A and B are shown apart, each in its own frame.
Chain A
Amino acid sequence: MARKHREIGKAGWGYTAIASVIGFIYFFPVLWIILTAFKTRTDALAVPPKLFFTPTMENFTSVFYRTSITTGTAQATDMGLYFFNSIFIAFSSVGLALIVGTLAAYAFSRYPLKGNDTYLFIILTTRMMPPIVVIIPIFLMFRLSGLAGSYWGIILLYTAFNIPFSVWLVKSFFDELNPEIEDAARMDGATERRVFFNFCIPQILAGLSATFVFGLILTWNEFLFALLLTGVETRTVPVAMARTLGGEVGVDYGLLAAIVTLFLIPIFFVTFLLQNQLLRGVTFGTVKK
């Protein structure tokens, strides 16, 4: 049977339906959590699960204000601080890694060292093992240097973990650029600094956004190092979330879901803001100019 010639740019209803089903399957856990956040404790634990229920905001309230079972008084939780910590730590470390990584990537791309690839490989090796392997030496280093429990400590650690990824990704964007444009700028009187800031950076903004978002997602959800290296003041949301498990009243799924839902918002927001750039960033270099 002859297949019908397909118009370019139109996938047809069949493919759209398949994509929707797959999309739904992927999104289902997220949807489940969001729904749970609006359920009462009874609804959350109901078997079979309830799809239709009366939504409540009580879980969200109790993220920030908790009624103590013993005294019956409402008191503020530290969740606000933890959200601030997560945002502050993730954004600063990913931002820092992006700055350092971009500078390094430009150097690797434009001024290759003897054995350039070896250096790049060494940078990548730090990402090759599971982080838990290095947790003991890092923990000791942090204790000895007094970095444990401080903002500086965790930010520097995350920066260090994000740099290899930033260097590699951003280097690939620089490699894609037409070096003639930089040469032209040099001929037209631009200094090296201008060449970099006015001509290279604007051309890879999409790539930088993509790198930023990927790094942000990784760092945002990091648990292990945050658990061991943050203190009471610098605790991040994933750690705080874990601590709500198994409290005085067992697992409060509604509360957990509410925290997760709130936790999704910043990253969702950033990704949404950058989504056009992101899409270009991911497909950067895959389409010939």
Chain B
Amino acid sequence: MTIELKKITKRFGSLTAVDAIDLDVGDGEVLCLLGPSGCGKTTTLRMVAGLEAASEGDVMLGGKRVNELAPRDRNVAMSFQFYALYPSLTVAENLAYPLHAEKLSGVEIEKRVAQVAKTLQLESILKRTPGQLAEGEKQRVAVGRSIIRDPQCFLFDEPLSRLDVQLREEMRGEIKEVLQDLSRPTVIVTHDQLEALTMADRIAVMRAGRIEQVDTPHNVFQSPANLFVAGFIGTPQMNLIRATLTGSDGTGLADFAFEGDQTLKIKVDPAVSQLSPGSKVTLGIRPRNLEMSAEPTEDSLSTKIDMVEPMGAETLAHMHDGFHDLRLVTDWRVPMSEGDNVHTRFPPNTTHVFTEDEQVLRSAS
């Protein structure tokens, strides 16, 4: 079983919500659509579900084009952001509802409800109506209702967005476990990168109706394809600073000049030699990669500590060189105080170079 989207486009009047995207989700794979609000991720999901008709392109489920099929004929299960539990039905009836459409016998329905209730620990609340449930319970019922039949694929729209932090963590694990057991192609829409990074096999980062990068959570984080992905994934956000390339030696050792006349000689991807000296670039480095050094070095900028934010196990320091703000995360034991003058070091092979058209420079590996 697979989900394939081919050049799928959705227009609402003059607005293009989803712009010719290609995507495929393999059997048993969990794909997260991640992006800021309004980037078209929910619309994409709804097109797979059949709740929204694609303006162009093909939606393929299990190799068959399903564009013209009504949602009920697609055999797809979906769980909604606001749970969408049927308010007048009890939990048990909510769970059983999708089975009625499959024309199962009463005995069989009861058996399945009991089974799902056991998996998701819903046995004690089967007789209640949605109005009497807590948020976490509603979420469980919503998940239960989508897994109770055996659909071709699963779709989740912001499954955890309404839960508090603690419950979210708990449910994240539970959903992940359930999904592993089901082994069906699954698409999860989320704007929460942590959710995407933890639950997905692959992440598709979307912006303004287009897919910016599809890759494993590790690669999306470690090797962002462009400036948007680099800035979007990771907290605290990656440092992105404008610089001018002044020279490179072909092995990746390159010189950069910054506003304020400071310079850096750092080891970056060898592909940087494709650029001619004088090119404008954006350098990206994760706050956890930056290091502090007491002595000035070739690969450091002279900075002052502007502000210190303790984050528990780590400390976030805002460094300033007079023109750029750099976020640096370090172990909480490292002593520092606001106003200190320190050098911020860019260790070798930790800095990404983005060209003026916002793409990353990376040699094929």
Q: Are A187 and B71 in contact (CB under 8 A)?
A: yes
CB distance from A186 to the nearest CB of B (A): 4
CB distance from A174 to the nearest CB of B (A): 15
Q: In the complex, which residues of chain B have a beta carbon less than 8 angstroms from the beta carbon of A189?
A: 72, 98, 100-102
B329 at the interface (CB under 8 A from A): no
Residues 67 to 87 of chain B near chain A (Cβ within 8 Å): 70-72, 76-78, 80-87
CB distance from A141 to the nearest CB of B (A): 41
B145 at the interface (CB under 8 A from A): yes
Q: What does the 1/0 interface line of A184-204 toward B look like (CB < 8 Å)?
A: 111111110000000100110
A233 at the interface (CB under 8 A from B): no
Residues 130 to 171 of chain B near chain A (Cβ within 8 Å): 145
Q: Are A203 and B72 in contact (CB under 8 A)?
A: no
Q: Are B87 and A188 in contact (CB under 8 A)?
A: no
Q: How far is the CA of A187 from the CA of B85 in the complex (A)?
A: 12
CB distance from B361 to the nearest CB of A (A): 43
Of B46, B84, B101, the most chain A CB neighbours within 10 A belong to B84
Nearest A residue to B148, CB-CB: A188
Q: How far is the CA of A230 from the CA of B119 in the complex (A)?
A: 67
A78 at the interface (CB under 8 A from B): no
Q: In the complex, which residues of chain B have a beta carbon less than 8 angstroms from the beta carbon of A202?
A: 87-88
CB distance from B85 to the nearest CB of A (A): 8
Q: In the complex, which residues of chain B have a beta carbon less than 8 angstroms from the beta carbon of A199?
A: 86
Q: In the complex, which residues of chain A have a beta carbon less than 8 angstroms from the beta carbon of B46?
A: 183
Residues 157 to 216 of chain A near chain B (Cβ within 8 Å): 178, 180-181, 183-191, 199, 202-203
Q: How far is the CA of A275 from the CA of B71 in the complex (A)?
A: 39
Q: Are A203 and B71 in contact (CB under 8 A)?
A: no
B51 at the interface (CB under 8 A from A): yes
B49 at the interface (CB under 8 A from A): yes
CB distance from A20 to the nearest CB of B (A): 34
Nearest A residue to B80, CB-CB: A180
Q: How far is the CA of A189 from the CA of B74 in the complex (A)?
A: 9
Q: In the complex, which residues of chain B have a beta carbon less than 8 angstroms from the beta carbon of A190?
A: 72, 101
Q: Are B88 and A186 in contact (CB under 8 A)?
A: no
Nearest A residue to B100, CB-CB: A189
Q: In the complex, which residues of chain B have a beta carbon less than 8 angstroms from the beta carbon of A191?
A: 72
CB distance from A111 to the nearest CB of B (A): 13
Q: How far is the CA of A18 from the CA of B336 in the complex (A)?
A: 67
Q: Are A184 and B80 in contact (CB under 8 A)?
A: yes
CB distance from A66 to the nearest CB of B (A): 52
> Of A181, A186, A188, A203, which is within 8 A of B51 by CB?
A186
B97 at the interface (CB under 8 A from A): yes
Q: Are A184 and B100 in contact (CB under 8 A)?
A: no
Q: How far is the CA of A144 from the CA of B174 in the complex (A)?
A: 72
Q: Are B86 and A185 in contact (CB under 8 A)?
A: yes
> Of B71, B81, B100, B145, which is within 8 A of A186 by CB?
B71
Q: In the complex, which residues of chain A have a beta carbon less than 8 angstroms from the beta carbon of B86?
A: 181, 184-185, 199
Q: Are B72 and A180 in contact (CB under 8 A)?
A: no
Q: Are B84 and A178 in contact (CB under 8 A)?
A: yes
Q: In the complex, which residues of chain A have a beta carbon less than 8 angstroms from the beta carbon of B84?
A: 178, 180-181, 183-184
CB distance from A204 to the nearest CB of B (A): 11
Q: Are B101 and A188 in contact (CB under 8 A)?
A: yes
Q: How far is the CA of A178 from the CA of B81 in the complex (A)?
A: 11
Known contacts A187-B49, A189-B98; A180 and B81 CB within 8 A of each other: yes
Q: In the complex, which residues of chain A have a beta carbon less than 8 angstroms from the beta carbon of B98?
A: 187-189
Q: In the complex, which residues of chain B have a beta carbon less than 8 angstroms from the beta carbon of A181?
A: 84-87
Nearest B residue to A202, CB-CB: B88
Q: What does the 1/0 interface line of B87-100 toward A look like (CB < 8 Å)?
A: 11000000001101
Q: In the complex, which residues of chain B have a beta carbon less than 8 angstroms from the beta carbon of A187?
A: 49, 51, 71-72, 76-78, 98
Instruction: Provide 9 A-B residue pairs closer than 8 Å at the C-beta atoms, listed in order of the A residue.
Output: A183-B46, A183-B71, A185-B86, A185-B97, A186-B51, A187-B78, A187-B98, A189-B98, A189-B101
Top 6 nearest A-B pairs by Cβ distance? A189-B101, A184-B84, A180-B84, A188-B98, A180-B80, A186-B71
Interface residues of B, Cβ cutoff 8 Å to A: 46, 49-51, 70-72, 76-78, 80-88, 97-98, 100-102, 145
Contacts A186-B70, A188-B72, A203-B87 known; 10 new A-B pairs at CB < 8 A: A180-B81, A181-B86, A181-B87, A183-B49, A186-B51, A188-B98, A189-B98, A189-B102, A191-B72, A199-B86
